[in-house]
Amino acid sequence: MKRRQLFNLVGGAIVVLWLVMIGLLIKRVHFNDLSEPPEVSEGISHVKSPQRDWMEIYLEGKKVGYSVNQINPLGDGYLIQEEIFLKLNLMGQGSAVHTVTRSVVDDEFLLKSFNFRMTSGVVAFQVSGKVNGKRMHLKIGEGATQRVKTIELSAPPVMGSGIAQFFKGRKIEIGQSFRFPVFDPSTMARKEMIFRVVAKEPVAISGMKYPAFRLETEMWGRRLTFWLDENGVLLKEDGFMGLTLIKSSPARAPRDISSGGDFYELAAIRVKKKLHDPDRLTYLKLEVEGLDNGALDRGSLNEGRQRFRDGVMEIVREETPARATYPLPYSEPSEGMKPFLQSEFNVESDHNAIIGKARQISGDLKDPVKVSRRLTEWVYRNVEKRPLVTVPSALEVLKSKVGDCNEHAVLLTALLRASGIPARVCVGLVYTRGMFFYHAWTEAYVGRWVSMDATLNQMPVDATHIKLIQGGLDKQLDLIGLIGKLRLKVIAYRYD
């Protein structure tokens, strides 16, 4: 029963990453942390009247959505609004996603303020920001659960939704390059992107060919390709996992949208040897290919229950100690352990609602092992198992009691930290129905790190859980370079 449920749950972590890819691909992102203003700001083509650009979004050749980007003059700057509409197929369940980014920028498209909102069914995520000198002040969430954060900037940020305007009317030549450090509001992650003009070639759109310049950039070890016409107007983009965006019109863009192929299965890794009763597996040995395509921390691959060497991964289900080596709360943490006790972007362990719920669940228990087990069971029994397309937040999960593996993992991690137990989110792979799917779970420190999966109510987790990343959403982005390139071959396994 657990594994049948899992078939409808795994992949939640990768859905968030995919939305980040979508954001980068269609440029709803924000650019900041520049060591100097962008070179392309000189000679920018200023907007004198409202402009709209429509794009159709395709996944593996099937139309799954569209975007519209509008720029309006506003005083001595501009108001930019970009909307994205997606229809996704997640394990046979249709899911509609709508994102809106509104930004106010100056006449050189330097960001003044923005508001980003993503809605999927009854679940919504919102973040807004305002630039004040070399600081960006952020508000994350709404109402009583709203959090604030400040980001230091080395130079004024540039609004990503207006990046196309940097190229309009600009003379483009082969060999040119343009540098933009990227800030994504949905993950607070920053990455540098360098666009290079590599060729002049025709691009086909709706059966017609148009002369265009091809620009390329790399992100997380993957190539993104853009085609601009001779006036700098964006015609087409090719990105991750078969995603393509094509210039369209107001009449054509919203039409004939389907949910396409199942996204979870597109990201899954198939293996020839079947693993029966995988939740009973205590040892697994695999050949692994493709890890060099990512920017993973090799320490995460080769610690605790895992050993990775010369392309071979061995995983042993660890034993959970009868008692922890310390009473609650964990005291005098080292610098390396402090981050696992602190609140962060989507693991709001210092919020009164999280602290109160952790105390209510734990009762009078003082042993971290017993508390960890009780918290894992509570999340498993009280969070409805449903695939979601949103940025996971422990506070929102506690409120809605709905989510997939990502929501289970961040809520359990927040409850553990609120209880005084160091904890971290892990993202990797887990096996079901002949495939390894991307999945999220939790590790807690009870004298040593022990794994626990609130989606499956496992403590410790079975040996098919392959950890690739540990940490927040900014760290999880490093997985993107692996998607579609990772290969696994089962060598041996056993049940004890």
Q: Where do the structural domains in the chain lie, given as residue ranges?
A: 28-248, 268-494
Instruction: Check residues 4 and 173 and name the one with the higher pLDDT.
Output: 173
Burial class (CB in 10 A: 0-12, 13-18, 19+), 191: middle
Q: Which of 449, 442, 216, 211 minimizes the C-alpha distance to 330? A: 449
Whole-angstrom distance, CA of residue 41 vs CA of residue 275: 56
* Cα dihedral value 418, 422, 426, 432, nearest 10: -80
Q: Which residues contact 448 (CB under 8 A, 6 or more apart)?
A: 304, 321
In the prediction, which pLDDT does 294 show? 53
Query: Chain centroid to CA 324: how far?
Result: 33
Each residue's pLDDT tens digit, 73-125: 998 899 989 898 988 877 677 778 888 989 898 887 788 898 988 887 667 78
Q: Please, which pLDDT band fits residue 186 given cuts at 50, 70 and 90?
A: low
Q: Which of 173, 178, 236, 175 minimizes the C-alpha distance to 202? A: 236
Average confidence score pLDDT of the chain: 83
Whole-angstrom distance, CA of residue 350 vs CA of residue 327: 20
In the prediction, which pLDDT does 26 show? 44
Residue 461, classed as helix, strand or coil, is coil
Burial class (CB in 10 A: 0-12, 13-18, 19+), 73: middle
Architecture of domain 268-494: Roll (3.10)
| β-pair type (30-31, 111-120) | unpaired
Whole-angstrom distance, CA of residue 462 vs CA of residue 317: 6
Find the helix or strand (DSSP H, E) in which 286 lies: strand 283-289
Each residue's pLDDT tens digit, 318-361: 999 999 999 999 988 788 899 999 998 789 999 999 999 999 99
Q: Please, which pLDDT band fits residue 45 given cuts at 50, 70 and 90?
A: low
Structure tokens at 385: 């198992």
In the prediction, which pLDDT does 40 show? 45
Q: Cα-flanking dihedrals φ and ψ of residue 459, to 5°?
A: -155, 100
